[in-house]
Protein backbone atom coordinates (compact mmCIF):
# COMPACT_ATOMS: atom_id res chain seq x y z
CA UNK A 1 0.00 0.00 0.00
CA UNK A 2 2.84 2.32 0.95
CA UNK A 3 4.51 1.71 -2.42
CA UNK A 4 1.23 2.50 -4.20
CA UNK A 5 0.94 5.81 -2.30
CA UNK A 6 4.56 6.67 -3.12
CA UNK A 7 3.98 5.83 -6.78
CA UNK A 8 0.81 7.95 -6.85
CA UNK A 9 2.65 10.84 -5.22
CA UNK A 10 5.47 10.55 -7.73
CA UNK A 11 3.01 10.47 -10.59
CA UNK A 12 1.25 13.51 -9.12
CA UNK A 13 4.50 15.44 -8.89
CA UNK A 14 5.38 14.40 -12.42
CA UNK A 15 2.01 15.54 -13.71
CA UNK A 16 2.40 18.87 -11.94
CA UNK A 17 5.84 19.34 -13.45
CA UNK A 18 4.52 18.54 -16.91
CA UNK A 19 1.61 20.94 -16.43
CA UNK A 20 3.98 23.63 -15.15
CA UNK A 21 6.30 23.11 -18.10
CA UNK A 22 3.38 23.33 -20.53
CA UNK A 23 2.18 26.54 -18.89
CA UNK A 24 5.67 28.02 -19.07
CA UNK A 25 5.97 27.03 -22.71
CA UNK A 26 2.65 28.70 -23.50
CA UNK A 27 3.75 32.05 -22.03
CA UNK A 28 4.73 34.47 -24.79
CA UNK A 29 7.24 37.08 -23.67
CA UNK A 30 7.01 40.37 -25.56
CA UNK A 31 9.72 42.83 -24.58
CA UNK A 32 9.10 46.24 -26.18
CA UNK A 33 12.36 48.17 -26.63
CA UNK A 34 11.67 51.90 -26.34
CA UNK A 35 13.96 54.83 -25.46
CA UNK A 36 14.48 57.28 -22.60
CA UNK A 37 11.55 58.01 -20.29
CA UNK A 38 11.37 61.68 -21.29
CA UNK A 39 11.05 60.92 -25.01
CA UNK A 40 8.07 59.70 -27.06
CA UNK A 41 9.11 56.07 -27.63
CA UNK A 42 8.67 55.24 -23.93
CA UNK A 43 5.06 56.33 -23.28
CA UNK A 44 3.94 54.92 -26.63
CA UNK A 45 5.89 51.72 -25.92
CA UNK A 46 4.25 51.35 -22.51
CA UNK A 47 0.82 51.70 -24.15
CA UNK A 48 1.81 49.14 -26.78
CA UNK A 49 2.97 46.65 -24.15
CA UNK A 50 -0.38 47.05 -22.37
CA UNK A 51 -2.20 46.36 -25.63
CA UNK A 52 -0.13 43.22 -26.21
CA UNK A 53 -0.73 41.96 -22.66
CA UNK A 54 -4.46 42.37 -23.17
CA UNK A 55 -4.83 41.12 -26.76
CA UNK A 56 -2.23 38.34 -27.17
CA UNK A 57 -3.08 35.06 -25.39
CA UNK A 58 -0.67 34.21 -22.53
CA UNK A 59 1.46 37.26 -23.28
CA UNK A 60 3.76 38.70 -20.64
CA UNK A 61 4.63 42.09 -22.06
CA UNK A 62 7.01 44.74 -20.74
CA UNK A 63 8.41 48.06 -21.97
CA UNK A 64 12.17 48.45 -21.55
CA UNK A 65 13.97 51.80 -21.22
CA UNK A 66 16.90 51.95 -23.68
CA UNK A 67 19.15 54.40 -25.49
CA UNK A 68 16.71 54.11 -28.40
CA UNK A 69 17.27 53.30 -32.09
CA UNK A 70 20.80 51.90 -32.42
CA UNK A 71 20.74 50.00 -29.13
CA UNK A 72 17.26 48.68 -29.88
CA UNK A 73 18.36 47.27 -33.23
CA UNK A 74 21.44 45.58 -31.79
CA UNK A 75 19.30 44.08 -29.00
CA UNK A 76 16.80 42.74 -31.54
CA UNK A 77 19.57 41.17 -33.61
CA UNK A 78 20.77 39.29 -30.52
CA UNK A 79 17.21 38.18 -29.64
CA UNK A 80 17.00 40.33 -26.49
CA UNK A 81 13.64 41.83 -27.35
CA UNK A 82 10.66 41.06 -29.56
CA UNK A 83 9.75 44.46 -30.96
CA UNK A 84 11.39 47.89 -31.02
CA UNK A 85 11.08 51.53 -32.03
CA UNK A 86 13.67 52.98 -34.40
CA UNK A 87 14.38 55.89 -36.69
CA UNK A 88 14.42 55.17 -40.43
CA UNK A 89 18.05 56.19 -41.01
CA UNK A 90 19.30 54.03 -38.12
CA UNK A 91 17.28 51.09 -39.43
CA UNK A 92 18.72 51.54 -42.91
CA UNK A 93 22.27 51.79 -41.50
CA UNK A 94 21.72 48.64 -39.43
CA UNK A 95 20.45 46.68 -42.42
CA UNK A 96 23.49 47.77 -44.47
CA UNK A 97 25.96 47.22 -41.61
CA UNK A 98 27.21 50.82 -41.48
CA UNK A 99 30.06 50.70 -38.96
CA UNK A 100 30.28 54.49 -38.64
CA UNK A 101 26.69 54.47 -37.40
CA UNK A 102 27.51 51.85 -34.76
CA UNK A 103 26.72 48.63 -36.66
CA UNK A 104 29.82 46.50 -37.10
CA UNK A 105 27.98 44.06 -39.35
CA UNK A 106 24.69 43.81 -41.22
CA UNK A 107 21.84 43.14 -38.80
CA UNK A 108 20.24 40.56 -41.05
CA UNK A 109 17.61 39.30 -38.60
CA UNK A 110 15.66 42.57 -38.52
CA UNK A 111 12.14 42.46 -39.94
CA UNK A 112 9.59 45.25 -40.40
CA UNK A 113 6.26 45.54 -38.59
CA UNK A 114 4.94 49.04 -39.33
CA UNK A 115 5.65 52.65 -40.08
CA UNK A 116 4.72 54.92 -37.17
CA UNK A 117 5.03 58.71 -36.94
CA UNK A 118 7.76 61.21 -37.83
CA UNK A 119 10.51 62.42 -35.56
CA UNK A 120 11.38 66.09 -35.87
CA UNK A 121 14.87 67.52 -35.38
CA UNK A 122 14.30 69.96 -32.52
CA UNK A 123 17.29 72.14 -31.68
CA UNK A 124 16.46 74.21 -28.62
CA UNK A 125 18.72 76.88 -27.18
CA UNK A 126 18.65 79.00 -24.06
CA UNK A 127 17.44 82.42 -25.25
CA UNK A 128 20.29 84.04 -23.29
CA UNK A 129 22.92 82.07 -25.24
CA UNK A 130 22.65 84.23 -28.35
CA UNK A 131 21.97 81.16 -30.51
CA UNK A 132 19.50 81.92 -33.28
CA UNK A 133 20.88 79.90 -36.25
CA UNK A 134 22.79 76.68 -36.83
CA UNK A 135 25.96 78.72 -37.41
CA UNK A 136 25.57 80.20 -33.92
CA UNK A 137 26.14 76.75 -32.39
CA UNK A 138 29.86 77.16 -33.10
CA UNK A 139 31.74 77.57 -29.84
CA UNK A 140 28.71 76.60 -27.74
CA UNK A 141 27.96 73.76 -25.30
CA UNK A 142 25.56 71.31 -26.93
CA UNK A 143 23.98 67.96 -26.01
CA UNK A 144 23.54 65.72 -29.06
CA UNK A 145 21.70 62.79 -27.46
CA UNK A 146 22.94 59.51 -26.03
CA UNK A 147 26.03 58.19 -27.84
CA UNK A 148 25.15 56.23 -31.01
CA UNK A 149 21.44 56.82 -30.44
CA UNK A 150 19.18 57.74 -33.34
CA UNK A 151 19.22 61.33 -32.10
CA UNK A 152 23.01 61.43 -32.10
CA UNK A 153 23.19 60.01 -35.63
CA UNK A 154 20.73 62.74 -36.69
CA UNK A 155 22.87 65.37 -34.96
CA UNK A 156 25.97 64.31 -36.92
CA UNK A 157 24.10 64.50 -40.21
CA UNK A 158 22.45 67.88 -39.58
CA UNK A 159 25.63 69.52 -38.31
CA UNK A 160 27.61 68.13 -41.25
CA UNK A 161 25.02 69.45 -43.71
CA UNK A 162 25.29 72.86 -42.02
CA UNK A 163 29.08 72.84 -42.42
CA UNK A 164 29.77 72.07 -38.76
CA UNK A 165 31.32 69.21 -36.81
CA UNK A 166 31.61 68.32 -33.14
CA UNK A 167 35.10 69.89 -33.11
CA UNK A 168 33.46 73.28 -33.81
CA UNK A 169 31.53 73.09 -30.54
CA UNK A 170 32.96 74.25 -27.22
CA UNK A 171 31.60 71.14 -25.50
CA UNK A 172 29.69 68.06 -26.66
CA UNK A 173 27.54 66.13 -24.20
CA UNK A 174 26.12 62.69 -25.08
CA UNK A 175 23.04 62.70 -22.88
CA UNK A 176 19.42 61.50 -22.97
CA UNK A 177 16.70 64.13 -23.29
CA UNK A 178 15.87 64.51 -19.60
CA UNK A 179 19.48 64.94 -18.49
CA UNK A 180 20.13 67.43 -21.28
CA UNK A 181 17.21 69.55 -20.09
CA UNK A 182 18.41 69.52 -16.48
CA UNK A 183 21.85 70.79 -17.52
CA UNK A 184 20.23 73.53 -19.59
CA UNK A 185 18.11 74.61 -16.64
CA UNK A 186 21.31 74.86 -14.59
CA UNK A 187 23.04 76.93 -17.32
CA UNK A 188 25.59 74.15 -17.90
CA UNK A 189 24.55 73.74 -21.55
CA UNK A 190 23.60 76.25 -24.23
CA UNK A 191 21.54 74.00 -26.51
CA UNK A 192 20.15 70.51 -26.96
CA UNK A 193 19.32 68.64 -30.16
CA UNK A 194 16.46 66.20 -29.71
CA UNK A 195 15.05 64.00 -32.44
CA UNK A 196 11.54 63.20 -31.22
CA UNK A 197 7.84 63.43 -31.85
CA UNK A 198 6.23 66.85 -31.82
CA UNK A 199 5.57 68.20 -28.33
CA UNK A 200 8.09 65.94 -26.60
CA UNK A 201 7.82 66.14 -22.78
CA UNK A 202 11.47 67.07 -22.20
CA UNK A 203 11.28 70.26 -24.29
CA UNK A 204 7.86 71.16 -22.88
CA UNK A 205 9.44 70.91 -19.43
CA UNK A 206 12.41 73.06 -20.46
CA UNK A 207 10.20 75.75 -21.97
CA UNK A 208 8.35 76.16 -18.67
CA UNK A 209 11.63 76.64 -16.78
CA UNK A 210 13.66 78.98 -19.03
CA UNK A 211 13.10 81.15 -22.08
CA UNK A 212 13.96 79.08 -25.16
CA UNK A 213 14.68 79.56 -28.86
CA UNK A 214 13.85 76.80 -31.35
CA UNK A 215 16.65 76.93 -33.93
CA UNK A 216 15.56 76.56 -37.58
CA UNK A 217 16.95 73.86 -39.86
CA UNK A 218 16.45 75.38 -43.33
CA UNK A 219 15.24 73.24 -46.25
CA UNK A 220 18.57 73.67 -48.09
CA UNK A 221 20.40 72.13 -45.12
CA UNK A 222 17.93 69.22 -45.07
CA UNK A 223 18.60 68.66 -48.80
CA UNK A 224 22.37 68.60 -48.20
CA UNK A 225 22.01 65.61 -45.86
CA UNK A 226 21.47 63.58 -49.04
CA UNK A 227 19.34 60.91 -47.39
CA UNK A 228 15.73 60.49 -48.59
CA UNK A 229 14.71 59.66 -45.01
CA UNK A 230 15.26 63.35 -44.16
CA UNK A 231 12.42 65.56 -45.40
CA UNK A 232 11.71 69.29 -44.88
CA UNK A 233 9.10 69.87 -42.20
CA UNK A 234 7.75 72.50 -39.82
CA UNK A 235 7.42 72.72 -36.04
CA UNK A 236 4.11 74.65 -35.79
CA UNK A 237 3.97 77.88 -33.80
CA UNK A 238 3.12 77.42 -30.11
CA UNK A 239 4.21 73.78 -29.99
CA UNK A 240 6.28 74.97 -27.01
CA UNK A 241 5.86 77.93 -24.65
CA UNK A 242 7.62 80.96 -26.11
CA UNK A 243 7.79 79.55 -29.66
CA UNK A 244 5.48 82.02 -31.37
CA UNK A 245 6.31 81.27 -35.04
CA UNK A 246 6.56 78.22 -37.29
CA UNK A 247 10.12 76.84 -37.38
CA UNK A 248 11.48 74.88 -40.38
CA UNK A 249 13.26 71.64 -39.60
CA UNK A 250 13.82 68.06 -40.80
CA UNK A 251 11.49 65.11 -40.26
CA UNK A 252 12.56 61.45 -40.19
CA UNK A 253 10.08 58.52 -40.08
CA UNK A 254 9.95 56.06 -37.21
CA UNK A 255 9.34 52.35 -37.62
CA UNK A 256 8.29 49.45 -35.44
CA UNK A 257 10.49 46.41 -36.08
CA UNK A 258 10.97 42.87 -34.86
CA UNK A 259 13.33 40.00 -35.68
CA UNK A 260 13.05 36.84 -37.76
CA UNK A 261 12.97 34.57 -34.70
CA UNK A 262 9.63 35.83 -33.39
CA UNK A 263 6.85 33.40 -34.46
CA UNK A 264 4.63 34.43 -37.36
CA UNK A 265 1.42 34.14 -35.35
CA UNK A 266 2.81 36.36 -32.58
CA UNK A 267 3.82 39.14 -34.98
CA UNK A 268 0.47 38.86 -36.75
CA UNK A 269 -1.30 39.31 -33.39
CA UNK A 270 1.02 42.20 -32.43
CA UNK A 271 0.31 44.03 -35.69
CA UNK A 272 -3.44 43.45 -35.53
CA UNK A 273 -3.62 44.39 -31.85
CA UNK A 274 -1.84 47.68 -32.48
CA UNK A 275 -4.19 48.74 -35.27
CA UNK A 276 -7.26 47.52 -33.38
CA UNK A 277 -6.29 49.74 -30.42
CA UNK A 278 -4.98 52.96 -31.96
CA UNK A 279 -7.01 55.03 -29.49
CA UNK A 280 -4.84 53.68 -26.67
CA UNK A 281 -1.68 54.79 -28.50
CA UNK A 282 -3.19 58.18 -29.33
CA UNK A 283 -3.95 58.71 -25.64
CA UNK A 284 -0.34 57.88 -24.72
CA UNK A 285 1.19 60.79 -26.67
CA UNK A 286 -0.04 63.32 -29.18
CA UNK A 287 2.75 62.35 -31.63
CA UNK A 288 1.20 58.88 -31.95
CA UNK A 289 -1.88 60.39 -33.64
CA UNK A 290 0.10 60.34 -36.88
CA UNK A 291 0.09 56.50 -36.86
CA UNK A 292 -2.21 55.45 -39.70
CA UNK A 293 -2.59 51.99 -41.21
CA UNK A 294 -2.47 53.38 -44.75
CA UNK A 295 1.09 54.62 -44.06
CA UNK A 296 2.31 51.37 -42.48
CA UNK A 297 4.43 50.19 -45.42
CA UNK A 298 5.77 53.50 -46.75
CA UNK A 299 9.56 53.58 -46.96
CA UNK A 300 10.16 50.38 -44.97
CA UNK A 301 13.95 49.77 -45.33
CA UNK A 302 13.91 46.09 -44.24
CA UNK A 303 11.84 43.06 -45.30
CA UNK A 304 8.44 42.69 -43.66
CA UNK A 305 8.04 39.96 -41.07
CA UNK A 306 5.71 37.23 -42.45
CA UNK A 307 3.31 37.82 -39.55
CA UNK A 308 2.97 41.52 -40.39
CA UNK A 309 2.66 40.65 -44.09
CA UNK A 310 -0.19 38.28 -43.27
CA UNK A 311 -2.05 41.06 -41.46
CA UNK A 312 -1.59 43.60 -44.29
CA UNK A 313 -2.83 41.07 -46.83
CA UNK A 314 -5.85 40.40 -44.64
CA UNK A 315 -6.78 44.10 -44.54
CA UNK A 316 -6.03 44.68 -48.23
CA UNK A 317 -2.85 46.79 -47.95
CA UNK A 318 -0.92 44.04 -49.74
CA UNK A 319 -2.28 42.03 -52.68
pLDDT in tens, 163-200: 999 999 999 999 999 999 999 999 999 999 999 999 99
- Topology of domain 8-117+255-314 in CATH is D-Maltodextrin-Binding Protein; domain 2 (3.40.190)
Spatial distance between the Cα atoms of 184 and 141, rounded to a whole number of angstroms:
10
Please provide the DSSP assignment of 127-189 as one string: GGGT--SGGGGTTSEEE--STTSHHHHHHHHHHHHTT--GGGSSEEE---HHHHHHHHHTTS-
Give the DSSP H or E segment for 8. Answer: helix 2-26
Which candidate, 89, 115, 47, places its Cα nearest to that of 295? 115
H or E element that contains 103: none
Task: Judge if 8-117+255-314 and 119-252 fold alike in CATH terms.
Answer: yes
**CATH number assigned to the domain covering 119-252:** 3.40.190.10
pLDDT tens per residue, range 144-160:
998 888 899 999 999 99
Domain residue ranges in the chain: 8-117+255-314, 119-252
Given a cut of 80, whether residue 28 has pLDDT beyond it is yes
252 closest CA partner among 195, 307, 213? 195
The per-residue pLDDT for range 242-261, each reduced to its tens digit, is 999 999 999 999 999 999 99
Q: What is the pTM of this model?
A: 0.86
Buried b (16+ CB within 10 A) or exposed e, 185-197: eeeebbbbbbbbb
Q: What SS3 class is residue 301?
A: coil
**Model confidence at 53, in pLDDT bands (50, 70, 90)?**
very high
Distance CA 52, CA 63 (A): 11
Beta-carbon contacts of 316 under 8 Å, excluding residues fewer than 6 positions away, are none
Round to whole Å and give the CA distance between 26 and 28. Answer: 6
The model's pLDDT over 191-247, given as tens digits with 9 standing for 90+, comes to 999 999 999 999 999 999 999 999 999 999 999 999 999 999 999 999 999 999 999
* Residue 311 parent element (H or E): helix 306-314
Percent of the chain with pLDDT over 70: 92
Beta-carbon contacts of 63 under 8 Å, excluding residues fewer than 6 positions away, are 32, 34, 42, 45, 46, 48, 49
| Length, in residues, of the chain | 319
Report the alpha-carbon distance of residue 196 to residue 122 in Å, rounded: 7
pLDDT of residue 16: 42
Amino acid sequence: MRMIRQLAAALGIGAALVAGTAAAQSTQFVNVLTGGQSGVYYPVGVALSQIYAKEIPNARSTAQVTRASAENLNLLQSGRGEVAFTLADALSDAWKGNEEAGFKQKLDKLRGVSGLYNNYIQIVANADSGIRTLADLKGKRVSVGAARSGTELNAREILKAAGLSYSDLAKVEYLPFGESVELMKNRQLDATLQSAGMGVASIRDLATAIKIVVVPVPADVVAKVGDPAYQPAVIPANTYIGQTADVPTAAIPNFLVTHAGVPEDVVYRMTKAMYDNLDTLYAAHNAARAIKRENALKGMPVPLHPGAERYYREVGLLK
